[in-house]
Amino acid sequence: MMDPGALYTVEQDVWESLTGTRPVLVHLLEGYVDAGQVARQLSEHLLESLDAELLATFDHDQLHDYRSRRPQMVFDTNTWTSLTDYRLALHKVTDASGRPFLLLSGPEPDTQWNRACAALLQIADGLDVSQLVTAQGVPMGVPHTRPVLVTGHATDPELVTDNPVWIDRVVVPGSFASMLEYRSGQAGRLACGFVAHVPHYLAPGTYAPGALAVLERIRAATGLDLPPGELATLALQTLSQLEGEVDSDGELGPLVQALEQQYDEVQSTGRPSVPSADEIGAAVEQFLAQQEGDDPEGSRGTHQ
């Protein structure tokens, strides 16, 4: 393996300001299954609502497959006017009570996963990170009219005791965030994550209630003071807009009613009809196909 330390560049003054703080490292990456764009919404909310300073920048040309995920460019009349470039960056963010933490955001690496994991664990060792935390959304057969279910996971299974029993044991394609959590556990570091169950009919768009639900779980797990702010407002607006859509859509209304019945039965009996690995795999494949074929901002599931 090439030197992991050569993969990133540190802002030394920001690094030194973190000495002795034992910060939490929150990693919220884009590019894998993230129904409702939960991770993206959460990272944007944290960077926009709290004070943030750039701590480290990764050499993304080493990690990104540009022919797989091409940057968007704008051509106007006779010239290129803009380029939406990719950046994987680690910020020092200060919560509402003045406590610093780290936030890794940007696209999921396409290559060199082991080296990138080693680089992040090198940073975690250097700053004595107290724990690593992540979040995402997955498409599930749940209604938006009920509280968002959240599945937790951790390198110490005893820390996760209150999961909704909707999924048992399943084999799924790995993500970089999952690998980082696994490698953290191997290195003896505490790491955990939270997965919001996003209604499958809203998965391609932005679903603020899902992002709000995992924000609350991160607050509880880390003790960080992370005000919901605009995210809570967006969640309320989303649910209000959906109420009107259910009333006017002849197909959506019956679907939501059927999901409500299933949800209520599971909550009351505690004996769900657990989906099989094939069913979960099919749902993920369908979601990925929608992501590739549709503009998320134009889908029914986009509510901002």
The whole-number pLDDT of residue 162 equals: 78
202-252 confidence digits (pLDDT tens): 999 999 999 999 999 999 999 999 999 999 999 999 999 998 888 777 788
Instruction: State both tokens at 279.
Output: 């069913």
Find the helix packing angle between 230-248 and 252-269, rounded to 10°.
Answer: 120
Beta bridge partners of 25: 102, 132
Q: How far apart are CA 172 and CA 193, in angstroms?
A: 16
- Which tokens go with 33? 């299954």
Characterise 112 by phi-psi region: left (phi > 0), alpha (psi -120 to 50), beta (else).
left
CA torsion 129→131→135→141, rounded to 10°?
Answer: 170
- Note the pLDDT tens digit of each residue in 22-33: 999 999 999 778
Question: What is the CATH number assigned to the segment(s) 4-298?
Answer: 3.40.50.10900
Contacts of 130 (CB under 8 A, 6+ apart): 22, 23, 24, 190
pLDDT tens-place string over residues 131-171: 999 999 999 999 999 999 999 999 998 888 778 765 667 78
Which residue ranges make up each domain of the chain?
4-298
| This model's pTM is above 0.75 | yes
